[in-house]
Amino acid sequence: MIRFLFIIYFANSAFADSPANISSDLQSEIILLFQNADGGWPKNIKWDQFKTIKEATDNLEEFRKKSTIDNSATYTEIRVLNTSYNKTKNSTYRDAALSGLKFILREQRASGGWRGSDVDAITFNDNAMIGVMKLLKEITQNKSNFSWVEDTTRKKCRKALDKALRVVLDCQILVNGKKTAWCQQHHHLSLKPIKARTYELPSISGAESVEIIRYLMRIDQPSNEIIESIESAILWFRQSAINDLRVEKFAIEPVKHNNKIINHDIRIVTDLNAKPIWARFYEIKTNRPFFCNRDGIKVYSLNEVKLERRTGYSWYSSSPAKLLDQDYPKWKKNLNRWNQKN
């Protein structure tokens, strides 16, 4: 049955983006098919690339890879199977989701963090840690739609979530005694920022830190430590905004790089009306935005990044804008309301 469990993986970053022409029943069956024996799923399988069970089965070996939480893998599949179980009461979906949940609980390191697929470190990259924590939080809530989870497992989820929150708070980077934000990866023992892939160097991340703060903002009755963490990160985001510059994408003559065809490029242009953007990487000591090539050499201009990496990675983000303009004021209002009641 584990073999049938294997299909879910293709959720990656987007079960919400699953195509309407694939039925939920077929989705769940494919999810089962791609589940690994350890209970988890591999990453980067697209839901809509298989139209039938036979087609998916014929491609199992091609997509058989190690289980991970990277790119929304495993915790997304657990959600999908849970929805299918609540709809159909088919115990196969429930058992597969439970197997995935047990994989997640086993994979938590002593630090309280979960690793991604690139390096055994506390991984915030692509919101891996936060994605798992949101799932565990949902499971532990009183009105959870995971009501089938037994109390013993639910307690394990709560304990894992508490450890994870502790390490999130402890990983917030201090610069000159002031809390800033987070790196994409942190060492399990020292909790210091570390590199993952050659072009992902230790830094303060202007991208991954956004969802960390959003998670902290959703905590009811936050402690003073959590409040300080949020306020400090918000201040860092405000101070790190890049104004008057815009990322522009433009067409080029197709360039072949290995098995990839690149038909566009990107550049930074001056625009006094541009909305603020944030770099993916900031130097920890100077807070200077930087970039990196596959050779691991740091550069300070996007133009110095080779075409393949320049166009194949998200070097800038505008996502902090909504955090600052909408999420933070709403959180602050709720916090003041809670303080008045207490």
> Is residue 79 in some structural domain?
yes
Cα of first residue to Cα of last residue in the chain, in angstroms, is 52
> Is residue 217 in some structural domain?
no
> Which pair of tokens denotes residue 104?
């997640």
Residue 12 has pLDDT above 50, yes or no: no
* CB-based contact 321:275 (threshold 8 Å): yes
Q: Which residues contact 89 (CB under 8 A, 6 or more apart)?
A: none
pLDDT in tens, 151-198: 999 999 999 999 999 999 999 999 999 999 999 999 999 999 999 999
**Length of the chain, in residues:** 342
> Is residue 50 in some structural domain?
yes
Which of 106, 122, 141 corresponds to the end of one domain?
A: 106
pLDDT in tens, 79-97: 999 999 999 999 999 999 9
Report the number of distinct structural domains present in the chain: 2
Q: What is the spatial distance between Cα 15 and Cα 48, in angstroms, rounded to a whole number?
A: 11
* CB-based contact 274:244 (threshold 8 Å): yes
Q: Which of 286, 242, 287 is nearest to 268 (CA)?
A: 242
Tracing tokens 């522009």 back to the chain, one arrives at 248
Confidence of residue 6 (pLDDT cuts 50, 70, 90): very low
Which of 54, 80, 106 corresponds to the end of one domain?
A: 106
> Is residue 186 in some structural domain?
no
> Is residue 300 in some structural domain?
yes
> Is residue 168 in some structural domain?
no
pLDDT in tens, 99-128: 999 999 999 999 999 999 989 999 999 999
- pTM value is 0.89
Domain hosting residue 37, numbered range: 1-106
> Is residue 144 in some structural domain?
no
pLDDT of residue 1: 39
> Is residue 244 in some structural domain?
yes
Which of 106, 123, 154 corresponds to the end of one domain?
A: 106
Residue 300 has pLDDT above 70, yes or no: yes
Q: Which amino acid is at 4?
A: F
Q: Angle of helix 208-217 relative to helix 128-140, nearest 10 degrees?
A: 20
**147 CB neighbour count, 10 Å cutoff:** 11
